[in-house]
Amino acid sequence: MAGIVDGRVVVITGAARGLGRAHALEFAAEGARVLVNDLGVERDGSGGASEPAREVVAEIRSGGGEAEANAADVADWDQAGAMIAQAVETWGRLDTLVCNAGFLRDRMLATMNEQEWDAIVRVHLKGHFAPARHAIAHWRDRSKAGEDVRGRLINTSSGAGLMGSIGQGNYAAAKAGVAALTIQQAAEWGRYGVRANAIAPDARTRMTAGIMYEEQAPQGWDDKDPANASPLVVWLGSDACDVTGRVFEIAGGALNVCDGWQHGHVVDVGRKYSAAEIAEAVHTSITASPSPAPVYGAG
């Protein structure tokens, strides 16, 4: 029986461990050809090794699937372009791009240094834009040539980016940017046959194990298993996906769409405000509008 993504060509960044590895195995199990990208860095972005990506490729091949390894730095413009080109040269086209790569350098904003800020914004935000920019060039060219393009882009945001997270200001800002980027991509790229969505997963990975969650999985049902998020990602990356411009939270077996900024209650005096009137208008609008979700870790 053919899988839901049978024959589709899929690039997954950060696919050697955690969520990315789970996505790669799920896509392969559903019939996709998978380019497994991973720079092989540690949790904080240090180091680098190609072995982890090759291990996932070997696992997919041992199960009868098709896969190739890639060790590009996804936030490097030229390397990101070469990664997309590798998939096209290997299998003739690209159908789905899953942007997942990233690492953490957590610190309170009052003590965070410039390098800690720049490194996280680079890998998460530019590391989403650069591969997608090269992917859309491929899809746009095919669309303009008259092809029926069904490109799929899945970005990885986070609850930290949607709600904020104490001690993760750099990560939260970058992941908020990813959520906004997804909306922008969906609005601009639909004309080329591309649907863009994002996930905000809750899972035990190298970035969360021993910090947010226990290192070891429990016996029986594990609601923090990274593989729980992968069926959603595979569906979003398939022809069957009929939504675009949305962000989905997924935690264990619980899934929900998550709306971003919305217009609150408007207080209109029909003229320029005086400074003395502002406080009343502000509090009237706040009172009449939905309350924001709390920041993760806030007391």
> Residues with catalytic annotation?
158, 171, 175
Q: Give the burial class of 222: count Cβ atoms within 10 A of its Cβ; 0-12 exposed, 13-18 middle, 19 or more buried.
A: middle
Phi, psi (5° rounding) for residue 201?
A: -85, 155
Give per-residue burial for 65-82: e unless 16+ CB within 10 Å, then b: bbbbbbbbbbbbeebbbe
Q: Give the residue from 145, 180, 152, 187 showing the smallest Cα distance to 258.
A: 180
- What is the C-alpha separation between 155 and 100, in angstroms, rounded? 7
